[in-house]
Amino acid sequence: MNRPALPQNRFLRGLYLMAQRYLRHNVAIQSAALAFYLLFMIFPFLIFVSALLGLLQLDVAAILRALREFLPREIVDLVAVYLGYVGADPSPRLLVFGLCFSIYFPMRATNSLMRSVRTAYHLGPPRGAVLHVLKTLLYTVVLIVSIALTLTLMSVGDRLLAYAVAHLRLPVFAAELWAKLRFPVVAVVGYFALFFLYALAQDGRQPWRNIWPGTLAALAAWMALSWLYAWYVENIAHYSLLYGSIGTVIVLLIWLNMSAMTLIMGAELNGTLMSLRKDKGAA
């Protein structure tokens, strides 16, 4: 049986290979599994973040305003409930409890995503179980640090800017410029966090060009899809009217599944580009 001829156009061939990879690698099933782990991760992590915000007295309102820029209102309201409830009564014990489960469940989610990345690169199962667990733990720590840095940029930044303007004679235009640059900086933090995950999933060192395109595309696609889905939920879907209180859960599950699929397809894009370069070299 002859294989179907690939399109001659490089762009169309890439789209064909991406669709083929989506079906062969069962990306839909992998996305559902990753979304399941993310769902179990999000609530303990919110408890940890809420306790941390309460102990450090960070600006919760600033974080919620930033989240409303690209997330559906139902999800932001759910986050606000957790942040407000736990942050109002900060407890070191609650912080430790949230931290423990915020390591376990993200490790499961990271393990699932790493296996999907390895599938995209045609690497197969991890060679060493112990090394794989250590890599997963390392990335979980990096993820927590990245999120803590992001929260700091979104919340503490306002207070520091106001203090610097009032007491350190920082020019107002410089404070306004930094306020606008915070979100690009947050995007850069997210880029390197995702880049590190794609790189850590490999058995050895990959060239930069085999990792950065999918990382950038996944991050850009995730932000765009989150914004479009938020607009869709606000203006067209109205899940709360159709499903009542369970509408928030439906919105959350769909958003998590979209996010998981975007992260996996970023790795698949890298695999597709590697195949295209290999075909070009063989021609």
Residues 191-209: tens digit of each pLDDT: 998 999 999 998 888 889 9
Q: If you compute the radius of gyration of the chain from its CA atoms, what whole number of angstroms results?
A: 21
pLDDT, tens only, 83-101 = 666 555 555 666 666 666 6
Q: Rounded to whole angstroms, what are the CA distances from 102 to 32, 38, 140, 180?
A: 20, 11, 9, 30
Rounded Cα–Cα distance for residues 259 and 253 (Å): 10
pLDDT, tens only, 232-258 = 777 776 666 666 567 777 778 888 899
pLDDT, tens only, 151-163 = 666 665 566 667 6
Rounded Cα–Cα distance for residues 250 and 256 (Å): 10
- Alpha helices, H only, the chain: 10-24, 27-56, 60-67, 73-87, 92-120, 129-151, 157-167, 172-200, 212-232, 239-243, 247-282
Residue 220: CB partners within 8 Å, gap ≥ 6?
none
Asked if 39 contacts 253 with a C-beta cutoff of 8 angstroms, the reply is yes
Task: Tokens for 36, please give them.
Answer: 């399941």
pTM of the complete model = 0.80
Task: Tokens for 195, please give them.
Answer: 């880049």
- Say yes or no to pLDDT of 274 above 60: yes
Rounded Cα–Cα distance for residues 223 and 70 (Å): 7
Q: How confident is the model at residue 272 (pLDDT cuts 50, 70, 90)?
A: very high
SS3 per residue for 162-183: HHHHHHCCCCHHHHHHHHHHHH
Rounded Cα–Cα distance for residues 109 and 36 (Å): 8
Place of tokens 């303990």: 44
Buried b (16+ CB within 10 A) or exposed e, 183-214: eeebeebbbebbbbbbbbbbeeeeeeebbebb
What local confidence, expressed as pLDDT, does residue 279 receive? Answer: 75
Asked if 10 contacts 276 with a C-beta cutoff of 8 angstroms, the reply is yes
Q: How confident is the model at residue 21 (pLDDT cuts 50, 70, 90)?
A: very high
Rounded Cα–Cα distance for residues 39 and 259 (Å): 11
Q: How confident is the model at residue 1 (pLDDT cuts 50, 70, 90)?
A: very low
